[in-house]
Structure 1
Amino acid sequence: MGAFKAYDIRGIYNKDFDKHLVYKVGYFLPTLLESDHVVVGRDVRSTSDEIFEYLCRGINDSGADVWNIGHATTPMVYFATVHLDAGASVQITASHNPAIYNGLKISRKGALPVGENSGLRDLEKMVLEGEVKPVENRGKVIEKPVKDAYLAFLRPYTPKLEGLNISLDLSHGMANLLTKDLLGPDHHYLYDHFDGTFPAHEPNPLEEENCKDIKAAVLKNSSDLGIIFDGDADRVMFIDEKGRFIQPDYITAVIGEYYLSKQKGNVLQDIRTSRSTTEYLEKLGGRVTTWKVGHAYAKVKLREIDGVFGGELAGHYYFRDFNNCDSGMLAALIVLQVVAKLHAEGKTFSSLIDTIVTYANSGERNFKLEQKDEAMAALYQKYAVEQKPILVLDFDGYRIEYPNWWFNVRKSNTEPYLRLVAEAKTQEMLDEKVKEISAIIKSFT
C-alpha cells in the first residue's frame, strides 16, 4: 500500500489503502496533532461513508471526539477548522481523481496543511509501527454543521449578476452543495446533482477532455463565461465566451484585477506560471513571489510573505481573506466580479484574457519514464551550465529562464511522470524548444 503522498493520503480504495489503514490514521492523528477533537467532512464518493465510519472509530478509540460537519467541499473543511477553532481536521476525498480513488486531506490548527514535511511522514510511521490500544473512555461523534456560516462568509463576494449569462458544470461533485445557494438557480447548469460515480466525466477540469460539455454549453447558450469545478470544489476553471479553455495561471492575473485595484500587495505564483501572468500582475502593482507547486507549500508561503492571494497552474487559488487557503468557490465569485465589471463596460472576458497573454505557452506536458533524475540532470547540464540563462530556480525541479523563453521541468509528487512547461515569445521558438527538450527527455525512456 502506498497511499501516503506529498500532500495527502490518496489512492485506489481497497488497493492502495483500506478501512484498516483509515482506522489507524484516525487513532494516531489526535496524538500527532495534540488535539482532543478532529473536524471531519466528506465528499459523496461511494466509499466515503465507509471511510468516515472507520476514521471516526479510530479517532474515538483514541479518546478524541469527532466534530462531524457532514458532506462538505474541501474548502468548507478548511473554513470549519478556523471557524470552530479546531486543532485538527480531515476531509475525506480524492479531489479530482476518478471514482475508484479516495483519500484523506489533513490540516492542523489554523487550517495549516499536514504534508510530507509537516507531519504526514510522522503519521505514516505511527500507522505502520505504532501499537493501537483503544481507551476505555472513548470519544464521541458530535454534529457541528457549518454550511450556513460558510455561505455567510462567501456571500459578500457574490456580485450582482443581472444581465450576465453564465454556464456552469458542477461535475456531479461537491460544488452542488453551495453553488445554487450563492448564484441562484437561473443559470445554465450541467451535472447539478450529486453522483459519486461521476457518470458525465471525470471530475478533473484540468483535462480539457472533461471540459467538452461546458465548452459546448457556453457556445450554445451564448454565455459570457463558463465555470467548471473539480470533484471536491477546491479547484475551478473557466471558459471564455468564445468557448476557449482558459489556462488556469492566467486566471491568477484576472484575480489580480479584483484585489490589486483596491490595494497593492504580495502575490504568490507557482514555478510553472506564465510570464504573461507575472508581467501583468507586476503592471497592476503586485509584488510576485514564485514558489513550489502544491497546497501544502503554497498556504505556508502565502502566510510567510503576507500575500494577498496566489494561484497555481492546476487551478488552485489561495486567499489571505480565507486563512491563506484555497477555495474554488471564492475564486469563482471573484472572477465573476471581474467579468460583471467588464460586462457593464461593454467588454468581454476574452478581451481581458487576450490582453494578459503575451507569450506562446506549451501547457503542461507529461512524460512517463523511470530515469527522471538522469533526464533532469541532462537538461540542467545543457541549459543551466553549458548555456547562459538569466535565472535558474531549483526548488521544485528546475525553472531555467532566458530573455525570450523559459522552461520548467519537475517530477510529479503524485504520479510517475516528469512534467514540462515551456514558454517563448513566438510560437515558432516555442515549438523548436519543446522539440529539443522533449528529445532529451525521451532519450531516457
Structure 2
Amino acid sequence: MAIDLTQIIKAYDVRGTVPDQFSPEVARAIGAAFARVVVLRAAGGGAADAATRPGVVVGHDMRESGPELVAAFAQGLTDAGADVTNIGLCSTDGLYHASGVLNLPGAMFTASHNPAEYNGIKLCRAGAAPVGQETGLAEVRELAQGYLDGELPEPAAEAGTVTERDMLADYAAFLRGLVDLSGIRPLKVVVDAGNGMGGYTVPAVLGTGAGLPELPLEIVPLYFELDGSFPNHEANPLEPKNLLDLQAAVVEHGADIGLAFDGDADRCFVIDERGAAVSPSAVTALVGLREVEKETAEGRESTVIHNLITSRAVPDFLTAAGATTVRTRVGHSFIKAQMAEHKAVFGGEHSAHYYFRDFFFADTGMLAAMHVLAALGGQDNPLSALGEMYEPYVSSGEINSRVSDVPAARARVHEAYVTQEGAGKVEVDELDGLTVSHWNDTPQWWFNLRASNTEPLLRLNVEAADQDMLDKVRDDVLALVRAQDPEQA
C-alpha cells in the first residue's frame, strides 16, 4: 500500500501512527529530504571535507518507537553527507536548547500529548528557528514522497557520522542561569509528569540530578517513570480530567503549587494551593511582567507577543508596565515568527506554550515554571492570591461545536452581532476567525469564533467583566452556532 505523506506531514510537524503511517522507511526518506532542503542548502550545498560537513542534532522522547525511528532518520541524513549529533532522551525544549547552543538544525521525535501508538517529528533550523509549511516543510514532504514512490537518491561521496552526546546537564545549567531560585522561600511542589519527559528533566533542573546546587524546593513526584504507553492518564494537561490527580495531590500534601507537563514537556500547566487551575493567560501576564521589568531595569524597551484568545488582562497589565504588545493568530508558528520579527522578550498562548527571547525565541514549559516559582517564592502570599491578581475577568475556555455547515453557522453569528448590531457598537476583526468585541464600552465582553483546520468544528472563546454577561454572550452565540443543525440533535 502506497504511503501518502500528506496524511502525516501537516502545517507544523510530522505526526502519525506507528508503523502503518510512520515507519522507519518513512523516517529515512524524511531525513534524506530534510538533509537536502534544510541542512545542505544552509551549508551551501555540502562540504569539501569532514571538518566542514554540516550537522544536525536529533533527540527523542520516551516513546518505544523513538530510537528505531531516530536511527532511520539519521541514516537518511548521513547518506546525504550530514553529520548527526544524537542527544538521545530529551524534552522538546531540550532539543531546542541543543539546536540553539550548537547552532545546528534539529529534529525532535515526539508526538507530544498524542496516544501511545503515535510518533512524530518537530523540525527546526539552526538556532531553534521553526520549520513549517511555508518555511521548508512542504518541500521536505514533496521530496520525501518522491523518495518513497521511487528510489532514494545516490548517497554522498563521503557519508556523515553519528555521534552521541548527553546534553541534559547543559540544558539544566542553561535554565538555572536564566532564573535564580536560590533565594526564594521554601516551597512544596507537586509535579505531574504524566509518564512523559518531565520525569527526566524536572530532577535535573529543579533537583540536583545534573549536579547543580540544591534549591529550596521539596518536589513531590507524580508519574515520573518514563512510559510512552501512558498508564496513568494522557499526557495532555489541556484536558481537565488529566489534572485531577495533580489537583488532589496538591491538596493532600498541603503543597504550595502543582505543575503538570505534557508528554514532551514543552508545555506547563499550573495548579494553586487549593487545587484550582491558574489560567495560562494569568501565567502569561505574570511571566511577561517579570521579563518586562527586567528589560526596563536595564534601560531597554520590550515587546510581548500574545495570541488573540488570551485574556484582555494580558495587554492591560503589560502596556501599563510600558511594554508594546503584539496580538497574533493562534498557533506556535505565528507566535515564533512574531517573536523573531519583533525581537520580543516573551510570548504566551492560551494553550500554555510560553516563548522566550533568551531561549532562542522558542517555547519552554520548564522556564515558565521557574518564573512562576520565583514569583511565588519571592513573596509571602499563596499562589491563589497571586493568580487572582492577573485574572480580573471571567472566561469560558474553548467550547467546541460540531456543525454540518461551518460557513452557514458562522454567517448566522456574523449577521446577529455585526450586521444587526450596527456600525460603531462593536469592533470586529477577522485576523483568525471572527472576533467581536464590546470591550471599549459597558458591559464589557468579547468573543472569538474560529473554525478547526481539520474537523467540522467551530471553537468559541468568550471573556467578560462579570459572570452574568459571560453566560449571556456564550449562550447567545452557541444558540446561533447550533441552531437547527442536525449535528446538535
SS of 1:334's equivalent in the other structure is helix
- 1:414 Cα shift? 5.7
Does residue 1:159 correspond to 2:191, yes or no? Answer: no
Contact 2:308–2:329 at 8 Å: present in 1 too? yes
DSSP-derived class of the 1:102 partner: strand
2:167 to 118, 124, 146: 146
Shift of 1:183: 1.9
Query: 1:361, CA displacement in angstroms?
Result: 0.4
The answer to whether the Cα contact below 8 Å between 1:360 and 1:424 also exists between their aligned partners in 2 is yes
User: Does the 8 A contact of 2:403 with 2:409 survive in 1?
Assistant: no
Task: Give the match for residue 153 of structure 2.
Answer: 133
Distance in 1 separating the partners of 2:198 and 2:113: 12
Q: Distance in 1 between matches of 2:343 and 2:284?
A: 17
SS of the aligned residue for 1:10 comes to strand
Aligned counterparts of 1:392 and 1:228: Cα–Cα separation in 2: 36
1:271 and 2:292 matched: no
Q: Which amino acid aligns with 2:27?
A: V
Secondary structure of the 1:209 match is: helix
1:219-271 CA-to-partner distances (Å, cap 9, x unmatched) read 01111111111111110000011110112122101113422333342111011
After TM superposition, the structure 1 = structure 2 runs for residues 120-269 of structure 1, keeping only pairs within 5 Å, are 120-130=137-147, 131-135=151-155, 137-156=158-177, 157-160=179-182, 161-184=184-207, 186-264=218-296, 265-269=302-306
Alignment partner of 2:400 out of 349, 354, 366: 366
Does the 8 A contact of 1:6 with 1:413 survive in 2? Answer: no
CA–CA separation in structure 2 for the residues paired with 1:3 and 1:112: 21
Shift in alpha-carbon separation, 1:184–1:82, aligned structure 2, 3 A: closer
CA distance in structure 2 between the aligned counterparts of 1:62 and 1:410, rounded to whole angstroms = 42
Residues 309-339 of structure 1 deviation map (CA, whole Å, 9 limit, x = unaligned): 0100000000011111100111111111101
What amino acid does structure 2 have at the position aligned with 1:179? Answer: V
For the Cα contact (< 8 Å) 2:12–2:333, is it kept in 1? Answer: yes
Match of 1:400 among 392, 416, 436: 436
Is 1:39 the counterpart of 2:75 in the alignment? Answer: no
Of 110, 115, 132, the residue aligned with 1:93 is 110
TM alignment of 1:216-365, pairs within 5 A: 216-264=248-296, 265-342=302-379, 346-365=380-399
Per the TM alignment, residue 172 of structure 1 is displaced from its structure 2 partner at its CA by: 1.1
**Larger displacement relative to structure 2 (393-402 or 37-46):** 393-402
Task: State the alpha-carbon separation in 1 of the partners of residues 145 and 409 from structure 2.
Answer: 33
Q: Distance in 2 between matches of 1:61 and 1:256?
A: 44
Percent same amino acid among aligned pairs?
Answer: 37
In structure 2, the residue corresponding to 1:129 is in which secondary structure?
helix
Question: Could you tell me which residue of structure 2 aligns to residue 81 of structure 1?
Answer: 99
Equivalent pair of 1:5/1:414 in contact (CA under 8 Å): no
Shift of residue 162, structure 1, vs aligned partner: 4.3
Supply the AA of the counterpart residue of 1:47. Answer: S
1:126-180 Cα distance to aligned partner (Å, 9 max, x none): 1223552241533221223322221121112141354212111111111122211
| 418-427 or 90-99: bigger deviation | 418-427
Aligned partner of 2:413 in structure 1 is 379
Query: Is contact 1:43–1:232 with CA below 8 Å preserved after alignment?
Result: yes
Return 5+ residue gaps in structure 2 as ranges. 41-53, 209-217, 297-301
- Structure 1 residue aligned with 2:26: 21
What is the 5 A alignment of 1:48-67? 48-67=66-85
Letter in 2 for 1:424: A
Q: 1:113 to 1:335 in 2, by over 3 A?
A: same
Q: Which amino acid aligns with 2:393?
A: Y
For 2:408 and 2:135, locate their aligned partners in 1 and report how far apart those are by CA, in whole Å: 28
Q: Is the 8 A contact 1:158 1:182 kept in 2?
A: no
> Partner residue of 2:50?
none
Question: How many residue pairs align between the two structures?
Answer: 441
Distance 1:21 1:323 in 2: 29
TM-score scaled to structure 1, two decimals?
Answer: 0.94
Aligned to 1:7: 12
* AA matched with 1:341: G
The offset of 1:395, in angstroms, is 2.5
Does the residue aligned with 1:332 lie in a helix, a strand or coil? helix
Alignment match, 1:426: 466
Indicate conservation of the 8 Å contact 1:277/1:357, yes or no.
Answer: no
Indicate the residue corresponding to 1:435 in structure 2.
475
Letter in 2 for 1:10: R
Deviations 1:37-63 (A, max 9, x none): 221110011121221122112222222
- The letter for the 2-side match of 1:350 is S
Cα distance 1:370–1:134, how it changes in 2: closer, same or farther (>3 A)?
Answer: farther
Q: Secondary structure at the match of 2:84?
A: strand
- CA distance 1:110–1:370, change in 2 (3 Å): farther
Alignment partner of 1:260: what SS? helix
**Contact conserved, 2:406 with 2:456, CA < 8 A, in 1?**
no
Distance, in Å, in 2 between the alignment partners of 1:416 and 1:73 is 32
CA drift at 1:290: 0.6
Quote the residue 1:106 is aligned against: 123
Which deviations, in whole Å up to 9, do the C-alpha atoms of 1:71-112 show, x marking residues without a partner? 1110111111121111x2110001111212211101012211
Structure 1 residue ranges without an equivalent (≥5):
none
CA distance in 2, matches of 1:158, 1:93: 30
C-alpha distance in structure 2 between counterparts of 1:122 and 1:378, whole Å? 39
Partner secondary structure for residue 262 of structure 1: helix
CA distance in 2 between partners of 1:158 and 1:15 (Å): 46
Shift of 1:299: 1.2
1:227–1:238 CA contact under 8 A, matched in 2: yes
Q: Distance in 2 between matches of 1:377 and 1:129?
A: 41
2:364 and 2:476 mapped to 1: Cα distance? 38
Whole-Å separation in 1 of the counterparts to 2:60 and 2:95 = 9
Distance 1:323 1:308 in 2: 10
In structure 2, do the counterparts of structure 1 residues 324 and 416 end up closer, same or farther at CA, with 3 Å as the change threshold? Answer: farther
Verify the 8 A CA contact 1:258 1:337 in the aligned structure 2: no
- Superposed CA RMSD: 1.9
- Output the amino acid matched with 1:397: G
Contact 2:11-2:133 within 8 A present in 1 as well: yes
CA distance in 2, matches of 1:108, 1:26: 14
